Copies of this chain bind each other. A is one copy, B any other.
Amino acid sequence: MTLEYGLLIIAIIMIIIRNMKINCYDRADVMTTRFHNSKRIYTKKSKYQKIEVFKDKNLGHILSIDGDVQLSEYDEINYHEMLVHVPMAYVKPTNVLIIGGGDGGTLREVCKYPDITNIVMVEIDHEVINASKRFFVNFRSAFADPRVTLKIMDAFKYLKEDNGILFDAVFIDVTDFNQSDSLFTQESIQNLKLRMASDAVLGLNFTSVGIAEPKTPVRVLNESGFGERFKHKRLFQSHQPVFTGGAYTFAFFSDSVDPLDFPSSFPVDDLELETHYYTSALHKASFVLPKRLMSD
Interface residues of A (CB under 8 A from B): 2, 4-5, 7-8, 11-12, 14-15, 18, 22, 29-37, 56, 58-59, 74-75, 77-78, 209-212, 238-247, 275-279, 281-282, 284-286, 288-292
Contacts and interface: CB of A to CB of B under 8 A. Distances in A.
A249 to B, nearest CB: 11
B242 A31 contact: yes
Please state the number of chain copies in the assembly: 2
Given A11-B12, A245-B241, A247-B239, A276 B291 contact: yes
Which 10 pairs show the lowest CB-CB distances between chains A and B? A246-B246, A11-B11, A285-B288, A285-B285, A58-B212, A241-B245, A8-B8, A30-B58, A277-B290, A211-B241
Contacts of A29: 36, 58
24 contacts: A2-B4, A4-B4, A8-B11, A11-B15, A15-B18, A29-B36, A30-B58, A31-B242, A32-B33, A32-B34, A59-B211, A74-B211, A77-B292, A209-B239, A238-B290, A241-B244, A241-B246, A247-B247, A276-B291, A276-B292, A277-B290, A277-B292, A279-B288, A281-B288
Given A241-B247, A246-B247, 10 more contacts: A8-B8, A33-B34, A74-B212, A209-B239, A241-B245, A245-B246, A276-B292, A278-B291, A279-B291, A284-B288
B282 A288 contact: yes
A240 to B, nearest CB: 8
Contacts of A279: 288, 290-291
B290 A282 contact: yes
A290 to B, nearest CB: 5
Contacts of A58: 29-30, 211-212
